[in-house]
């Protein structure tokens, strides 16, 4: 279908207004990964039921599998069908070129993260790439997110525990956050305070006191990646401190896979798998609704 430049700019302006509302009204917008059409439907239905604004996001893997223009069209179609406030985030874009592609496709949120592709990227490389994307994003008004170093883990259900002392070595610092925001001009800072990509057999522990110091050091939006497997009270505390965006992926994937395995086992003679997806969608939707409640975004949509 495609959007006109004016439509893209209007959407980006609305996205900026949403984040200002989130700051003022103390809620966080859930950024839920889109793996396929079923997960998109689950997010859309949850947003409709709770009257919550939502982001759906794709990283390089989903972009490769679905197609960047297809993602934009699918989101717009379900946004119109359900009458909801929904935006698209390009998550962990590994290069400036990939980020620009997201901007040109009309994504309202762009996360540039060259350290994901190159864990050894220098400070200068990260800053230069981020500044280039910030400058290009002015063309549409898209919000740009970044962080000054590699953020660990992977969006999966892990069986191994993590070493919290090692994770602490990568925590954000108030001064580091301020310097990075000041030099790059980003709209959203991805904070590392104990959050970690993926879910693990031990619960994550977020340093809320550190988050308070970071919040006091910067004025821009703050996001938390790696929200899956985090005890809910941390989200409630983080929202009160002033986090505007929280990413969820692995919890949705776990619900999707375990439910799909169950319905396939129960329906061994049904080969039209699409007929078995209602229960899968319902379980993923329940995960999304539970996060929306913790993020205090219920009833905050503006459509």
Q: Where are the alpha helices (DSSP H) in 155-276?
A: 164-168, 174-184, 208-217, 232-241, 250-266
- Among the options 35, 76, 91, 187, which is catalytic? 91
**Measured distance CA(218)–CA(211) in Å, rounded:** 11
Angle at 30 between CA 283 and CA 253, to 5 degrees: 35
Distance CA 188, CA 19 (A): 10
Q: Based on the residue annotation, tell me whether 219 is a catalytic residue of this protein.
A: no
Contact predicate 90/246, CB 8 Å = no
- CB crowding 124-154: b at 16 or more within 10 Å, else e: eebbebbbebbebbeebbbbbbbbbbbbbbe
Phi, psi of 9 (to 5 degrees): -65, -35
Catalytic residues: 91
């Amino acid at each position: 279908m495609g959007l006109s430049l004016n439509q893209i700019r209007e959407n980006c302006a609305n996205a900026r207004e949403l984040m200002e509302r989130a700051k003022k009204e103390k809620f966080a917008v859930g950024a839920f990964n889109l793996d396929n059409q079923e997960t998109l439907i689950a997010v859309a239905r949850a947003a409709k039921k709770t009257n919550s604004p939502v982001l759906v996001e794709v990283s390089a893997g989903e972009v490769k599998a679905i197609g960047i223009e297809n993602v934009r069209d699918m989101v717009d179609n379900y946004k119109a069908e359900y009458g909801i406030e929904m935006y698209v985030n390009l998550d962990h874009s590994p290069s400036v070129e990939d980020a620009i592609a997201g901007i040109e496709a009309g994504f309202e949120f762009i996360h540039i993260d060259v350290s994901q592709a190159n864990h050894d990227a220098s400070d200068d490389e990260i800053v230069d790439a981020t500044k280039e994307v910030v400058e290009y994003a002015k063309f549409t008004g898209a919000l740009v997110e970044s962080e000054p170093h590699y953020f660990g883990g992977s969006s999966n259900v892990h069986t191994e525990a993590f070493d919290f002392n090692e994770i602490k070595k990568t925590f954000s610092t108030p001064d580091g956050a301020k310097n990075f925001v000041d030099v790059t001009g980003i709209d959203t800072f991805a904070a590392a305070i104990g959050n970690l990509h993926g879910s693990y057999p031990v619960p994550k522990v977020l340093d809320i006191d550190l988050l308070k110091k970071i919040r006091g050091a910067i004025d821009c939006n703050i996001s938390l990646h790696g929200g899956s497997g985090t005890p809910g009270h941390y989200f409630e505390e983080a929202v009160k401190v002033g986090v505007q965006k929280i990413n969820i992926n692995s919890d949705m994937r776990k619900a999707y896979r375990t439910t799909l395995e169950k319905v396939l086992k129960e329906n061994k003679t049904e080969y039209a798998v699409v007929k078995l997806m209602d229960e899968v969608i319902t379980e993923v939707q329940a995960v999304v609704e539970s996060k929306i409640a913790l993020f205090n975004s219920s009833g905050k949509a503006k459509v």
